[in-house]
């Protein structure tokens, strides 16, 4: 208690937030509901209403409280009862105001009048817009069968209605953002443990962070909990990254690993752990499958071998393996959630999963946890069947283990360009921007030109919208009612959130739900949308009596479900019903059942490997036009090591041309020793084609224009570290 009289140190701040979290978990009586808090302030002349919301500035969905004055949101605060974010709201969350009140927001339906990407638009009324969207979708279906139309939805609480529209319409071709994101990692962990885990970093004693940047690429509660674990519990963090990221800066040890060699490092860890017997034999015997095959497999992958590949000293690799094993089971190789980097990214991530398997950390404090029970029910519907249709997705069978529910954007794009095996000529896109997120923008533009008609529903004129035929303005997360969403918060919580309007919708914007309902009605598919979102939520919450009222009171509902030992007495959801160190299905399918290391191709002389990465103030192309965030990150730069910069005659701040086999862009060089000599880096989301992103258009470089378009051969996930570039000083 003495701490209250002193300045709050960082340590104490985290301790305090932990207490707050504990209070929220303890129940409403301790802290009181929002109404009570408001009542207490009423004596102090309340000048505003406080309303719960759920952030949408990235995928995390953090709880917030909007301050509303005269119908206008004037401030966004964290919801202190939202344990998943430890009662915090990040800078992007705070900047949500500029997202909602962005003067560049789409204001009314727009119909393309000039050529694609020419930027000539005509304002049309909603009825006309919905008539046209439906009519064009009908024409595509008539000419090319239902599968001749592609549907793409980003991460959003209403995206499930795009899936429903696609299924009612009869198209199997639905892609999510995930195949431009994290499916190879999901694949690897699912195929090892039988489900995709959540990392209990809060209780971990030793974390190896590879291919992840958790203090900049924020994931709740991991970003906060890892800091707490380090500062409060003495957790050791070892980071491998070709860049000196903020995570690297805060780590106990940082190794600027040679890009593409992570698997060699992991197999060497396994070599030491297995070879020196640094595992729990009972756990391995009872819970895992394939230890003997693994033992043989990792023999050649000595720390010395890995050292040559990774550029990390062999003695450090061996020591890290021993330290990691000594801290087990409260230790882990952090699973991460980044996009694929290489064509063997599933296998690279499998090597991460296998080391975790050896640590015996599954379902235990400080290890990897299975999904907790949230209690939300699915809302099934009886989709129609069309005999006159193609047999399968356009991307089916082209990679062996694509996630059926997510698809592969990269494989779909190639297939559409080749009409292989059939033509797709219509595209409906909601709140995702593959033009800016998928590698090789020129190919995405080509895909656009293949289409008879493209409808994009978004809040802003993204580059994808810029190439569409019809652009429909949707609502921000503060203007609409959304279905409930269940969130996994590792050991912090399993919770349910919902969105209700905080302010009246701006301009002529409409929610996606109303738009698909309008289109479906015009296509005689109205029966699939014959409900309101309130009714939909009632069905979702059928097994959680009282949860709706708790969400009204606290902004969130917590299911006090089991955290650890979920698998006690249960089998793993794998073929062997154990943790598959050796994957049986891979063997049956002709995929390496244990990850085999192949050294990455090195950049040719005078070229660099272009790597992607995150900044805590940027959510790709969805925030680069945000006026508040723009003040912090006004442009992107090319990180270039001083060594090669000197040889190329490039000084800090010089304008350079970065060119790859597929594109070129001009950008300012940031000459810094925070990056390896053979690697360059830039942020995503800049230099939009759309002129209606005034802060991002003509500003910096578009990484999507330069990145080449490979993908992970197991899942079809976009592989983003395959591109070599030349960098030359641009003479003005």
CA distance 517 to 503: 22
Bond from prior residue into 329 cis (ω within 30 degrees of 0): yes
* Interface characters, 111-150, with other proteins (x: CB under 8 A): ----------------------------------------
CB of 278 closer than 8 Å to CB of 326: yes
* SS3 label, residue 640: strand
* Interface characters, 587-626, with other proteins (x: CB under 8 A): -xxx------------------------------------
Nearer to other proteins, 183 or 503 (CB): 183
CA distance 461 to 690: 7
Q: How far is the CB of 561 from other proteins (least distance, A)?
A: 14
CB of 355 closer than 8 Å to CB of 335: no
Name the nearest CA neighbour of 435 among 152, 699, 158, 95: 152
Q: How far is the CB of 482 from other proteins (least distance, A)?
A: 16
Nearer to other proteins, 160 or 550 (CB): 160
Q: How far is the CB of 539 from other proteins (least distance, A)?
A: 10
18 lies in the binding site for other proteins (CB under 8 A): no
- Part of the chain binding other proteins (CB under 8 A), chosen from 208-216, 326-334, 383-391, 605-613: 383-391
CB of 541 closer than 8 Å to CB of 548: yes
Q: How far is the CB of 381 from other proteins (least distance, A)?
A: 8
Q: How far is the CB of 183 from other proteins (least distance, A)?
A: 11
CA distance 522 to 515: 11
160 lies in the binding site for other proteins (CB under 8 A): yes
Burial class of residue 42, CB neighbours in 10 A (0-12, 13-18, 19+): exposed
The only residue of 108, 319, 553, 585 in contact with other proteins, by rule CB under 8 A: 585
566 lies in the binding site for other proteins (CB under 8 A): no
**Site residues (CB under 8 A) for other proteins, limited to 454-493:** none
Nearer to other proteins, 93 or 194 (CB): 194
User: Using N-to-C axis directions, what is the helix angle for 314-327 and 262-275, rounded to 10°?
Assistant: 60
Nearer to other proteins, 403 or 558 (CB): 403
Beta carbons within 8 Å of 367's beta carbon, 6+ residues apart: 200, 204, 329, 330, 331, 332, 356, 359, 360, 361
CA distance 629 to 41: 31
Strands 453-458 and 426-430: parallel
CB of 374 closer than 8 Å to CB of 495: yes
Q: How far is the CB of 335 from other proteins (least distance, A)?
A: 18
Nearer to other proteins, 384 or 634 (CB): 384
- Part of the chain binding other proteins (CB under 8 A), chosen from 233-241, 385-393, 619-627, 651-659: 385-393
Q: How many residues bind other proteins (CB under 8 A)?
A: 31
Q: How far is the CB of 139 from other proteins (least distance, A)?
A: 24
The only residue of 35, 113, 562, 573 in contact with other proteins, by rule CB under 8 A: 573
The only residue of 277, 378, 546, 604 in contact with other proteins, by rule CB under 8 A: 378
384 lies in the binding site for other proteins (CB under 8 A): yes
194 lies in the binding site for other proteins (CB under 8 A): yes
User: Structure tokens of 169?
Assistant: 């319409």
CA distance 639 to 243: 9
CB of 432 closer than 8 Å to CB of 152: yes
376 lies in the binding site for other proteins (CB under 8 A): yes
Q: How far is the CB of 382 from other proteins (least distance, A)?
A: 5
CA distance 198 to 329: 15
CB of 607 closer than 8 Å to CB of 728: no
Nearer to other proteins, 190 or 618 (CB): 190
385 lies in the binding site for other proteins (CB under 8 A): yes
Name the nearest CA neighbour of 186 among 173, 172, 176: 176
**Site residues (CB under 8 A) for other proteins, limited to 286-345:** none
545 lies in the binding site for other proteins (CB under 8 A): no
- Taking the CA atoms of residue 650, residue 656, residue 657 and residue 659 in that order, the dihedral angle to the nearest 10 degrees is 60
Nearer to other proteins, 119 or 400 (CB): 400
Q: How far is the CB of 163 from other proteins (least distance, A)?
A: 9
Q: How far is the CB of 398 from other proteins (least distance, A)?
A: 10
Phi, psi of 404 (to 5 degrees): -55, -40
Burial track 286-304 (b if 16+ CB lie within 10 A, e otherwise): ebbbbbeebeebbeebbbe
The only residue of 16, 250, 383, 648 in contact with other proteins, by rule CB under 8 A: 383
Residue in the structure block whose two tokens are 């899936």: 163
The strand pairing partners of 655, in sequence order, are: 668
The only residue of 71, 234, 380, 546 in contact with other proteins, by rule CB under 8 A: 380
Name the nearest CA neighbour of 263 among 188, 362, 330: 188
CA distance 705 to 443: 9
CB of 173 closer than 8 Å to CB of 151: yes
Nearer to other proteins, 576 or 726 (CB): 576
The only residue of 138, 253, 392, 452 in contact with other proteins, by rule CB under 8 A: 392
Nearer to other proteins, 340 or 476 (CB): 340
Q: Apex CA 152: angle with CA 148 and CA 158, to 5°?
A: 130
Nearer to other proteins, 381 or 507 (CB): 381
552 lies in the binding site for other proteins (CB under 8 A): no
Q: How far is the CB of 407 from other proteins (least distance, A)?
A: 11
Nearer to other proteins, 176 or 684 (CB): 176
Q: How far is the CB of 290 from other proteins (least distance, A)?
A: 16
- Part of the chain binding other proteins (CB under 8 A), chosen from 347-355, 463-471, 524-532, 572-580: 572-580
Q: What is the DSSP letter of 146?
A: G
Q: How far is the CB of 152 from other proteins (least distance, A)?
A: 18
Nearer to other proteins, 128 or 530 (CB): 530
CB of 184 closer than 8 Å to CB of 713: no
Beta carbons within 8 Å of 473's beta carbon, 6+ residues apart: 105, 106, 107, 108, 109, 458, 459, 507, 508, 509, 510
Nearer to other proteins, 105 or 349 (CB): 349
283 lies in the binding site for other proteins (CB under 8 A): no
Looking at the chain, how many residues does it have?
732
354 lies in the binding site for other proteins (CB under 8 A): no
CB of 715 closer than 8 Å to CB of 183: yes
**Site residues (CB under 8 A) for other proteins, limited to 398-417:** 400-401, 403-405
The only residue of 377, 553, 664, 694 in contact with other proteins, by rule CB under 8 A: 377
Q: How far is the CB of 589 from other proteins (least distance, A)?
A: 6
CB of 361 closer than 8 Å to CB of 332: yes
Phi-psi region of 370 (alpha: psi -120 to 50; beta: other; left: phi over 0): beta
The helix or strand, by DSSP H or E, that contains position 430, with its residue range, turns out to be strand 426-430
Q: How far is the CB of 416 from other proteins (least distance, A)?
A: 20
Q: How far is the CB of 341 from other proteins (least distance, A)?
A: 22
Give the footprint of other proteins on this chain (CB under 8 A): 160, 172, 190-191, 194, 376-385, 391-392, 397, 400-401, 403-405, 573-575, 577, 585, 588-590
């Amino acid at each position: 208690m003495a701490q209250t009289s002193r300045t709050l140190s960082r340590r104490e701040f985290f301790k305090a937030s932990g207490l707050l979290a504990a209070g929220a978990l303890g129940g409403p009586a301790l802290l009181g509901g929002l109404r009570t808090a408001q009542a207490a302030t009423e004596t102090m002349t309340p000048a505003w209403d406080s309303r719960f919301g759920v952030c949408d500035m990235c995928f995390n969905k953090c709880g917030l409280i909007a301050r509303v004055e005269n119908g206008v949101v004037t401030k966004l605060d964290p919801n202190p009862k939202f344990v998943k974010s430890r009662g915090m709201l990040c800078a992007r969350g705070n900047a949500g105001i500029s997202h909602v009140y962005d003067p560049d927001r789409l204001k009314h339906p727009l119909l393309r009048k000039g050529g694609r990407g020419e930027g000539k638009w005509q304002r049309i009324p909603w009825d006309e817009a919905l008539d046209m969207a439906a009519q064009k979708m009908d024409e595509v279906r008539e000419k090319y069968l239902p599968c001749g139309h592609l549907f793409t939805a980003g991460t959003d609480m209403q995206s499930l209605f795009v899936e429903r529209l696609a299924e009612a319409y009869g198209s199997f071709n639905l892609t999510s953002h995930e195949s431009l994101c994290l499916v190879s990692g999901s694949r690897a962990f699912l195929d090892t443990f039988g489900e995709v885990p959540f990392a209990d970093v809060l209780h971990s004693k030793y974390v190896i962070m590879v291919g992840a940047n958790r203090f900049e690429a924020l994931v709740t509660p991991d970003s906060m909990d890892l800091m707490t674990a380090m500062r409060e519990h003495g957790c050791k963090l070892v980071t491998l990254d070709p860049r000196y990221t903020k995570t690297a800066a805060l780590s106990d040890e940082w190794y600027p690993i040679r890009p593409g060699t992570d698997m060699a490092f992991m197999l060497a860890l396994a070599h030491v752990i297995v070879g020196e017997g640094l595992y729990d034999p009972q756990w391995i015997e009872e819970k895992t499958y394939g230890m003997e095959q693994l033992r043989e497999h990792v023999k050649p992958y000595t720390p010395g071998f890995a050292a040559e590949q990774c550029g990390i000293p062999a003695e450090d690799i061996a020591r890290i393996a021993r330290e990691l094993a000594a801290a087990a089971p409260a230790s882990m190789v952090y699973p991460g959630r980044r996009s694929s980097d290489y064509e063997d990214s599933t296998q690279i991530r499998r090597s991460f999963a296998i080391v975790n398997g050896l640590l015996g950390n599954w379902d235990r404090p400080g290890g990897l946890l299975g999904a907790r029970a949230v209690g939300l029910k699915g809302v099934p519907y009886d989709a129609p069947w069309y005999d006159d249709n193609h047999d399968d997705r356009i991307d089916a069978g082209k990679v062996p283990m694509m996630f059926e529910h997510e698809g592969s954007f990269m494989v779909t794009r190639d297939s559409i360009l080749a009409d292989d095996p059939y033509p797709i000529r219509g595209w409906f896109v909601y709140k995702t921007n593959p033009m800016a997120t998928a590698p090789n923008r020129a190919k995405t533009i080509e895909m656009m030109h293949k289409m008879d008609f493209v409808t994009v529903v978004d809040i802003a004129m993204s580059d994808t919208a810029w190439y569409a035929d019809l652009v429909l303005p949707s609502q921000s997360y503060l203007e609409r009612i959304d279905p409930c969403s269940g969130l996994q918060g590792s050991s912090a919580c399993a919770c349910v959130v919902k969105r209700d309007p905080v302010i009246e919708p701006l301009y002529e914007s409409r929610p996606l739900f109303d738009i698909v309902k309008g289109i479906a009605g015009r296509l005689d598919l109205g029966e699939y949308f014959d409900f309101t979102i309130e009714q939909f939520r009632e069905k979702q919450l059928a097994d959680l009596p009282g949860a709706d009222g708790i969400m009204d009171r606290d902004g969130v509902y917590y299911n006090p479900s089991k955290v650890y030992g979920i698998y006690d007495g249960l089998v793993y959801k794998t073929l062997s019903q154990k943790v598959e160190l050796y994957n049986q299905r891979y063997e049956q399918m002709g995929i390496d059942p244990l990850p085999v290391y192949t050294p990455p191709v090195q950049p040719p002389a005078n070229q660099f490997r272009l790597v992607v990465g995150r900044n805590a103030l940027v959510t790709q192309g969805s925030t680069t036009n945000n006026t508040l965030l723009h003040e912090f990150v006004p442009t992107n730069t090319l990180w270039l090591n001083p060594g090669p910069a000197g040889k190329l005659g490039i000084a800090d701040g010089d304008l350079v041309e970065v060119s790859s086999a597929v594109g070129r862009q001009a950008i300012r060089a940031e000459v810094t020793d925070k990056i390896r000599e053979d690697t360059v880096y830039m942020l995503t989301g800049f230099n939009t084609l759309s002129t209606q992103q005034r802060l991002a258009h003509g500003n910096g470089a578009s990484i999507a224009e330069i990145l080449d378009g490979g993908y992970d051969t197991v899942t079809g996930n976009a592989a983003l570290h395959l591109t070599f570039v030349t960098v030359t000083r641009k003479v003005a």
